[in-house]
């Protein structure tokens, strides 16, 4: 070790390798999400989320999975749905699905951790949503809900408000494919795609840098003691309890927390603990503060308590199920990507998808995208007249 410069380079090298591993997957995920958002109208979503019946929650989760994967935008969008008349539980199901059941998260988990984690994500997510629905039924009092609705009506700005308020879907007749491949459709896809990236890029960069630093500087022995690696049963019980707490403290949202999950997994946290850590991206401190602004302090605490309980139980459920089926991968095989750029399928995919992203960027700026970027962080009052030319 040659002191600090070497340590910083080491951390950056890890962050860079992780970035390279996941670039094409991120572009693909955002592209799929942009395609869906370009063809589905937000008014449709609100209309279908009027209560907390199981079918409605399933619909809310499906819409969430197809929407923006930035936690801040998801939280803003859930409030906007709630204000327009969606059921609160359904709005929360939408919010959880849109950060935890999205394609790009699944692909990145598979690339950096293994397909078992992707499967656990898609099994654990619905478990968490069901548990929350039950907890809300049992514990959510009408008075608290009324207070939350009154607070939501004040429309206090959180983060990514403008992004959440925009409905970029294409109007017009014709099949899904025809609307999508029309000029307006392609413009709409390019707009959603670039806005998605703009919404998440800060968290992604922070997540990669934090993960690189922790991987480079925190010794394995610390994690092994912290996660009870020598006591497998204690570790399995401790993992899902402590995973969300690490997430709350790490400030990194949605996809940005996968690189850190790799470090924790290599450090010895249990399988269920990794899943609980990833699910807790909606409890990070900046987002808890946004809940306080949106719904009031009491509701923010209520959400913290119920989300935490649901996350822990979902972590245990995944641990038991995957452990029972023998699907938990061997921790000793966990690798932090270090190789950087090599001529392999990752590089070819990255080149192809970066070219595609470039084409979408050009389309975005040629069709008035710059003005939208400026509106993106704007306040929720702008919801009434979104700045879109093709209505």
Higher pLDDT, 286 or 297: 297
Cα dihedral 250, 254, 259, 261, rounded to 10, equals: 70
Sign (positive or negative) of CA dihedral 231, 236, 240, 246: positive
According to the model, what pLDDT value does residue 19 have?
Answer: 87
Residue 371: predicted pLDDT: 81
**What pLDDT is recorded for position 250?**
78
The C-alpha angle 116, 117, 118, rounded to 5 degrees, equals: 90
- The model's pTM is 0.85
Whole-number pLDDT of residue 163: 66
d(CA 78, CA 299): 14
Q: Using CA atoms, how far apart are residues 257 and 247, in angstroms rounded to an integer?
A: 8
pLDDT: is 206 or 326 the higher one?
A: 326
Residue 187 burial (CB count, 10 A): 23
Q: What is the DSSP letter of 329?
A: P
Task: pLDDT band for 141, please (50, 70, 90 cuts).
Answer: very high
What pLDDT is recorded for position 231? 93
Mean pLDDT for 84-108 is 91
* Residues shown for the chain: 391
In the chain, the N- to C-terminal Cα span, in Å, equals 60
68-77 pLDDT per residue, tens = 667 888 888 8
CB 94 within 8 A of CB 101: no
User: How many angstroms separate the Cα of 130 from the Cα of each of 46, 96, 276, 372?
Assistant: 20, 11, 15, 36
Q: Which residues, 6+ apart, have CB-to-CB distance to 242 below 8 Å?
A: 226, 227, 269, 273
Give the per-residue pLDDT at 171.
Answer: 62
Least confident of 130-134, 261-265, 336-340: 336-340
Residue with the larger pLDDT of the pair 93 and 155 = 93
Q: Which residue from 165, 157, 169, 159 is spatially nearest to 199, judged by alpha carbons?
A: 159
Q: Which residue has the tokens 């270090």?
A: 338
Band of residue 151 on the pLDDT scale cut at 50, 70, 90: very high
pLDDT at 168: 60
CB 297 within 8 A of CB 148: no
Residue with tokens 């994690």: 223
Share of the chain above pLDDT 90, in %: 44
Higher pLDDT, 390 or 49: 49
Region 264-276: mean pLDDT is 95
DSSP assignment, residue 368? T
For residue 234, what are its two tokens?
């204690």
pLDDT > 80? residue 18: yes
In which region does residue 172 sit, left (phi positive, over 0), alpha (psi from -120 to 50) or beta (all else)?
Answer: left
Alpha-helical (H) ranges within 49-182 are 54-65, 71-83, 88-100, 103-112, 115-139, 142-154, 161-165, 176-181
Tokens of 382: 């702008």
The pLDDT score that the predictor gives to residue 341 is 73
Kindly report the average pLDDT of the chain as a whole number. 86
Whether 382 shows a pLDDT value over 50: the answer reads: no
Lowest-confidence pick of 173-187, 227-241, 317-331: 173-187
| Structure-derived torsion over alpha carbons of residues 200, 203, 205, 206, reported in degrees to the nearest 10 | 180
Task: Write down the pLDDT at residue 388.
Answer: 41
pLDDT value for 55:
94
pLDDT tens column, 341-366: 778 888 999 999 999 999 999 999 99
282 contacts 310 by C-beta, under 8 angstroms: no
Nearest to 207 by CA among 174, 170, 252: 252
Angle at 380 between CA 377 and CA 382, to 5 degrees: 90
pLDDT computed for residue 165 by the predictor: 62
More confident residue, 319 or 371: 319
Write the burial class of residue 211 (CB in 10 Å: 0-12 exposed, 13-18 middle, 19+ buried). buried
Most confidently modeled of 134-138, 181-185, 281-285, 374-378?
A: 134-138
- How far is residue 290's CA from residue 304's CA, in Å, rounded to a whole number? 12
What contacts 291, CB < 8 A, 6 or more positions away? Answer: 75, 299, 300, 303, 304
Q: What is the mean pLDDT of residues 19-32?
A: 86
185-212 average pLDDT score: 85
Question: pLDDT tens across 216-262, in order?
Answer: 888 989 999 999 999 999 999 999 999 999 998 877 767 778 889 99
DSSP 381: G
Angle between helices 297-324 and 142-154 (to 10 degrees): 110
| Tokens representing residue 108 in the block | 């990145």
């Amino acid at each position: 070790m040659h002191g600090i410069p070497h340590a910083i380079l080491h951390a950056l090298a890890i962050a860079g390798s992780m970035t390279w591993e996941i670039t094409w997957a991120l572009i693909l995920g955002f592209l799929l999400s942009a395609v869906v958002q370009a063809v589905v109208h937000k008014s449709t979503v609100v209309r279908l989320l009027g209560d907390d019946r199981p079918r409605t929650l399933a619909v809310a989760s499906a819409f969430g999975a197809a929407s923006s994967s930035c936690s801040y935008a998801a939280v803003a969008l859930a409030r906007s749905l709630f204000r327009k008349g969606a059921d609160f539980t359904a709005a929360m199901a939408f919010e959880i699905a849109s950060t935890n059941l999205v394609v790009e998260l699944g692909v990145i988990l598979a690339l950096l951790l293994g397909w078992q984690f992707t499967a656990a994500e898609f099994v654990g997510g619905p478990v968490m949503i069901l548990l929350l629905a039950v907890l809300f039924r049992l514990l959510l009092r009408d008075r608290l809900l009324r207070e939350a609705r009154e607070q939501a009506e004040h429309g206090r700005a959180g983060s990514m408000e403008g992004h959440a308020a925009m409905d970029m879907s294409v109007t017009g007749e014709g099949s899904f494919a025809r609307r999508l491949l029309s000029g307006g459709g392609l413009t709409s896809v390019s707009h959603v795609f670039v806005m998605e990236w703009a919404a998440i890029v800060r968290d992604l960069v922070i997540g990669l840098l934090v993960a690189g630093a922790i991987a480079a500087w925190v010794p394995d022995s610390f994690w092994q003691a912290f996660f009870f690696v020598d006591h497998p049963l204690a570790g399995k019980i401790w993992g899902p309890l402590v995973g969300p707490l690490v997430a709350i403290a790490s400030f990194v949202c949605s996809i940005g927390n996968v690189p850190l999950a790799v470090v924790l997994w290599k450090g010895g946290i249990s399988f269920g603990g990794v899943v609980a850590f990833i699910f807790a991206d909606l409890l990070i401190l900046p987002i808890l503060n946004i809940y306080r602004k949106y719904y009031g302090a009491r509701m923010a605490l209520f959400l913290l308590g119920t989300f935490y309980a649901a996350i822990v139980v979902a972590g245990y459920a995944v641990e038991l199920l995957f452990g029972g089926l023998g699907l938990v991968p061997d921790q000793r095989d966990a690798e932090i990507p270090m190789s950087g750029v090599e001529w392999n399928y990752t590089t070819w995919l990255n080149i192809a998808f970066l070219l595609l992203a470039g084409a979408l960027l050009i389309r975005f700026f040629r069709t008035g995208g710059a003005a939208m970027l400026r509106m993106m962080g704007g306040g929720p009052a702008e919801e009434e007249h979104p700045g879109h030319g093709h209505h």
